Chains A and B, each alone.
Chain A
């Protein structure tokens, strides 16, 4: 899965309200054939995330078999390290963020049992790797052995562990109280206690609380107000006050609003128009904003944003997990 940007540009027009689903599907399917480009190798450090983004977008676009399943499973397993965690690509050090992508991919492909068959120590080992990254004192999570803290990791850990049915391996109560410490007076959340509210971090904190079953702790009116103020005149969403819009915030802001039942606090049709404006109708893919180069990250989050807004022809997404709702419902009810 290439993370190289382009070749297309977001040349959609505002008047054009059509989603070029087939073009986007082709764009994603062809990403892996771009190994002769320098950028393919420069983005190796994100490869496993890239597979998750591409695969999920394909599912939401109604093409679940777009990537050869066996190849994808083989690739995921080849990224696993001795400690049970996953690296971005074979031979890369394990990190929580890639481990979460690995779990999400395996769950989406209904291939978690491959961990038992061919993985290093089954899902239990993956769970122990993640659980080992929790700071038992504060409840927060590190990304890897080098110790960086970020609420992204906390969310990722709860996401992956709940999908594996292994949430009991960590101290959820402490994780919840750590998230509460990251809350600001504007109702939003920051990357660590004391940090400014940021829409990406709001998503991870609210998502973590949703998985922990503690959405009652969110000040929904205040946070909903802050999130709805992310929408700009042209319909797009930004991540913090006075910043530029970006198609990926359709997801971070939109999913957060959906989790607290306030998605109707923004103008859905105008956001749809903005997202479609970010697509390349010829070569496929979405960019961060109109006229910029497309990439798989923005393609995934733009499609997921359209799904949240109930865009016709896009499969329903789970706002907590950013995976197809049909899949998470099945796995989590099991």
Chain B
């Protein structure tokens, strides 16, 4: 059904281009595209998870990019960014919405690529992710976007290791503040993303890949202290024990050694709390326990 619509429009477009071969009828193409984009809005509102409508819309926008002068096309795509913002404020976790937003941003950037005063949207998008997190701290979609944007921001300004470390410190401070509610799973997944910075096998994909071994260990130990403090009054929060175990194992990996006796005792104590608090995942904790003994 959508493909028929595409074929009809393709035909209309080719007519608009060929009727007067010297000057294609841009006004007509713009109207065709704008009208169809408008037509889709109520449909998307009713079926925000329907892949086919989103795909079709994207195709229309691609046609705008292909056929229209850059400035006109950019206007069309800018309206799109506003629309996707509106949709995400209605459903802040809509998977298509977020994927779509990334795509719109990429295209807008490519449309303004050769213009000097236009720059990357990473910074404004970073503000957007901040705003969405501010509205709802549990919005992992926004935290995920933040992870990706930080990477881009830093690489676009060819940030030095010092600047990268500064960014990391800010993020750690932010997540520690957010974790005054330690029961929120989304926050812990962001925390886990940050901890990857200290993991030699993952750090290459993180915001500060070049930390020294000593720096990494320093960060991890501070983290363990920080989480232990959070335990006070939240002894029934399983994520805290999980994070303590993860950090302790990570420190040992960074030091390339196995856990010492004291650490083993500590980890077993945290594990037994986890088994009590989180019986759903008993199999996972059992496997971890067995791996410690071997």
Chain A residues with a Cβ under 8 A of chain B:
45, 93, 146-148, 184-186, 191-192, 194-198, 224-226, 228-229, 231, 233, 235, 240-243, 262, 264-267, 270
Interface residues on B, range: 35 or more
Contact B140 A148 (CB under 8 A): no
Please pick, from B59, B140, B147, B281, the residue contacting A266 in the complex, using a CB distance under 8 A.
Answer: B281
Known A-B contacts: A184-B144, A186-B193. Give 14 more (CB < 8 A). Answer: A45-B1, A146-B59, A147-B59, A185-B147, A185-B202, A186-B189, A192-B99, A195-B98, A231-B281, A240-B141, A242-B138, A264-B283, A267-B280, A267-B282
A-B pairs with the 10 shortest C-beta distances? A264-B283, A265-B284, A196-B144, A267-B280, A185-B193, A241-B140, A93-B3, A185-B196, A241-B185, A228-B281
Question: A196 with B95: in contact, given A146-B6, A184-B144, A242-B185 (CB under 8 Å)?
Answer: yes
Question: A229 with B6: in contact, given A186-B193, A194-B102, A243-B93 (CB under 8 Å)?
Answer: no
Question: A267 with B279: in contact, given A93-B3, A195-B102 (CB under 8 Å)?
Answer: yes
**Cα(A233)–Cα(B280), bound, Å:** 8
* A-B CB contact pairs (8 Å), 6 listed: A191-B95, A226-B189, A231-B281, A240-B93, A242-B140, A242-B186
CB-defined contacts of A235 to chain B, threshold 8 Å: 280
Residue of B whose beta carbon sits closest to that of A187: B192
CB-defined contacts of A93 to chain B, threshold 8 Å: 3
**Cα(A262)–Cα(B3), bound, Å:** 42
Contact B185 A186 (CB under 8 A): no
Is B166's CB within 8 Å of the partner chain A?
A: no
CB-defined contacts of A184 to chain B, threshold 8 Å: 144
Is B55's CB within 8 Å of the partner chain A?
A: yes
CB-defined contacts of B55 to chain A, threshold 8 Å: 146, 148
CB-defined contacts of B6 to chain A, threshold 8 Å: 146
Residue of B whose beta carbon sits closest to that of A198: B95
Is B148's CB within 8 Å of the partner chain A?
A: yes
Contact B95 A185 (CB under 8 A): no
**Cα(A233)–Cα(B279), bound, Å:** 10
Please pick, from B99, B186, B202, the residue contacting A191 in the complex, using a CB distance under 8 A.
Answer: B99
Contact residues of B between 101 and 149, Cβ < 8 Å to A: 102, 138-141, 144-145, 147-148
Residue of A whose beta carbon sits closest to that of B286: A264
CB-defined contacts of B192 to chain A, threshold 8 Å: 185-186
**Cα(A191)–Cα(B55), bound, Å:** 14
Residue of A whose beta carbon sits closest to that of B95: A198
CB-defined contacts of B280 to chain A, threshold 8 Å: 228, 231, 233, 235, 266-267, 270
Question: A228 with B3: in contact, given A45-B52, A196-B144 (CB under 8 Å)?
Answer: no
